[in-house]
Amino acid sequence: MSVQERKERERAGRERLIVATARELAEQQGWDAVTTRRLAERIEYSQPVLYSHFRGKREIIGAVALQGATEMAAEVRAATAAADGPRTRVYALARAYLGFAARNPAVYDALFQLDGGLAYAQEDTPEPLKDAFAALLESLGEVAGDGVHPGLFTEVFWAALHGLATLTRAGRLLPGDAERRVELLVDRLAIV
């Protein structure tokens, strides 16, 4: 292994450590607790080392969001692959999405609430974000209904899931009705 390859491997390792530490800190204490000073202390590198990887917190949030998009897409695909039939797939997708949001609130915020400097729904949207949307579209496109563009239907269904995720987490919805909400969403919105 050349010196250059070793340096690149070390740099990639530091970057993974920064992202993992930011994510851990955000999940434990919220994104307000994630500062370059705190991250530098936790990973035992200087702040200039952090800035050599990320220009600031915004880029760190973006890196966490991209990692989260990859994980969410994998969870949705795993859940829907095990389902038999369109209706069951849509239920599985909704449960997987809402479960991911509940288990990873800081990552979910990085993906959909905070400014991570990422482009959404544009040509320059990063691949992990496009793939997360594709994971939803794969199951939702088949239940969009006649004359409804599958991408548009996926956006509307996703928006409903996002609303359920954020309102539930904020304590704005009765906790006992979570499953009924998913059933209502699937039964009334998806054409199966």
pLDDT tens, residue by residue, 41-71? 999 999 999 999 999 999 999 999 999 999 9
Furthest-apart CA atoms within the chain: distance in Å: 60
pLDDT digits (tens, 9 = 90+) for 178-191: 999 999 999 988 87
pLDDT value at position 96? Answer: 98
pLDDT value at position 3? Answer: 86
- Tell which phi-psi region holds residue 188, choosing left (phi > 0), alpha (psi between -120 and 50) or beta: alpha
pLDDT digits (tens, 9 = 90+) for 136-170: 999 999 999 999 999 999 999 999 999 999 999 99
Mean pLDDT of 27-53: 94
For residue 43, give every residue at least 6 positions away whose Cβ sits within 8 Å of its Cβ, in sequence order, or none. Answer: 14, 17, 18, 21, 50
pLDDT value at position 192? Answer: 65
pLDDT value at position 156? Answer: 96
